[in-house]
Amino acid sequence: MRRLGRGAAVALLAVVLSAGCGSQKDLPLAQLDTDRYVTLGDYRNLSVTVEKPKVEDAEVVRTMLNLYRNGISAELGGITDHAVAEGDTVNIDYAGTMNGELFSNGSAAGAQLTIGSGSFIDGFEDGLIGVMPGETVELDLTFPDPYLNNPDLSGQAVVFTVTVNFILPPLESEADLLDEVAAAAGLEEVSTVQELRQYAYDSLNQNAQIQYESNVQNAMIQELLAQCDFKKLPENMLERSRQTLTESLEQAASRFGISAEDFASFNGMSISDFVETYAPDSVKQNLAMQAVANKEGLNVSDEELQTRLEDYAAKNGYASVDELLNDASREDYRNYFMTLKVLDFLADHTKVN
């Protein structure tokens, strides 16, 4: 039996929790008469087409070079005999203060910065040109206004104390790499450039496999929904889905210091358009999954639910099931575990081309 990968399973949780209970006097989803809302198609014979996972060699080399840079130091491979120039990538320590006090997220050690990249605020990178490795400079700068990453710093005068540790050598291909630097990159069981290549490939391949699993799952769900005939959706489920999507937008927007309306506009939509577009999708998915569970005997009993909750809480760092249930109800998690069972069932009845 093909099992749903962890990455794909975790991605489902938010979708499943967004629908919650249905109508019929707010019955739990497991008790809902799904035949009133959806007629299933041939879910036992699904067929989807998904591109096979692959890792390009150029991607492996780029990853190798990025990992390799972590092994460079002033004593091993770093450049220390000339001053910083435009286009150099430097390793720096810096600390930012405002009114003499360190401010949040304004300090780092061993940071890599390419001069001229525009990664830091105006004046920071230019202020390092001409500085010799080993030297420390103070940069009197002002944050832009507005500054979306941290609105509290918008327009504020600050001082950055910066030490240039060394300049990284230009690395263009695998031929530029040295075994001793690869060994110093801090990666387990990597002591040569060849082992670093294998590490890079394995990491990229693992990510490609996870993405492939997710693509298969998404294609499978879309094919299931395409074969279903949906009637009028339960308004209570739609309303909860709208509420969850709105809250998710607001939380995401707050991390960037912008409004939810501005965040939604990145997708070319207003908040209401975004919510009305995607809320029905999550409700349809939950109804279809529950309908399959009813047909195939895949519902989650109280005993199974308790066992799964205990296992889930332990694996995800919760002190107890009660702490886990601070985030969602038992019925929400019942729906989630039911969905995992249904997806495993569908995977065994889907031809992946």
pLDDT in tens, 93-127: 999 999 999 998 899 999 999 999 999 999 999 99
Res. 215: pLDDT tops 90: yes
Res. 37: pLDDT tops 80: yes
Res. 3: pLDDT tops 90: no
Q: What is the pLDDT of residue 9?
A: 38
Res. 157: pLDDT tops 80: yes
pLDDT band at 14 (very low <50, low <70, confident <90, very high): very low
Looking at residue 81, the DSSP 8-state letter turns out to be: S
Residue spans in the chain of domains classed CATH 3.10.50.40: 73-168
Question: Mean pLDDT over residues 184-195, rounded?
Answer: 95
Question: Mean pLDDT over residues 184-212, rounded?
Answer: 96
Pull the structure tokens for residue 303: 């005993």
What span, in angstroms and rounded, lies between the C-alpha atoms of 106 and 273?
A: 37
What span, in angstroms and rounded, lies between the C-alpha atoms of 159 and 233?
A: 58
What span, in angstroms and rounded, lies between the C-alpha atoms of 242 and 331?
A: 19
What is the pTM (predicted TM-score) of this model? 0.73
pLDDT band at 222 (very low <50, low <70, confident <90, very high): very high
Question: Mean pLDDT over residues 156-175, rounded?
Answer: 94
pLDDT band at 274 (very low <50, low <70, confident <90, very high): confident
> Are the beta carbons of 95 and 161 closer than 8 angstroms?
yes
Question: Mean pLDDT over residues 266-285, rounded?
Answer: 88
pLDDT band at 253 (very low <50, low <70, confident <90, very high): confident
**Paired sense of beta strands 46-48 and 350-352, if any:** parallel
Question: Mean pLDDT over residues 246-257, rounded?
Answer: 84
Res. 316: pLDDT tops 90: yes
Residue spans in the chain of domains classed CATH 1.10.3120: 6-40+228-352
Cα within 13 Å of Cα(215), Cβ side = 14
What span, in angstroms and rounded, lies between the C-alpha atoms of 163 and 113?
A: 12
pLDDT band at 18 (very low <50, low <70, confident <90, very high): very low
Q: Which distant-in-sequence residues (6+ apart) come within 8 Å of 109 by Cβ? A: 93
Pull the structure tokens for residue 342: 């249904």
User: Lowest-confidence range among 5-9, 130-134, 283-287?
Assistant: 5-9
Res. 255: pLDDT tops 50: yes
Q: What is the pLDDT of residue 78?
A: 95
What span, in angstroms and rounded, lies between the C-alpha atoms of 30 and 12?
A: 18
Question: Mean pLDDT over residues 209-231, rounded?
Answer: 95
- For domain 73-168, say whether CATH 3.10.50.40 is its number: yes
Q: Which distant-in-sequence residues (6+ apart) come within 8 Å of 70 by Cβ? A: 185, 186
Res. 267: pLDDT tops 80: no
Using the Cα atoms of residue 35, residue 41, residue 47 and residue 50 in order, give the sign of their dihedral.
negative
The larger pLDDT score, comparing residue 250 to residue 166, is at 166
Q: Which distant-in-sequence residues (6+ apart) come within 8 Å of 7 by Cβ? A: 210, 213, 214
Specify the fold of 6-40+228-352.
Answer: Trigger factor, domain 2 (1.10.3120)
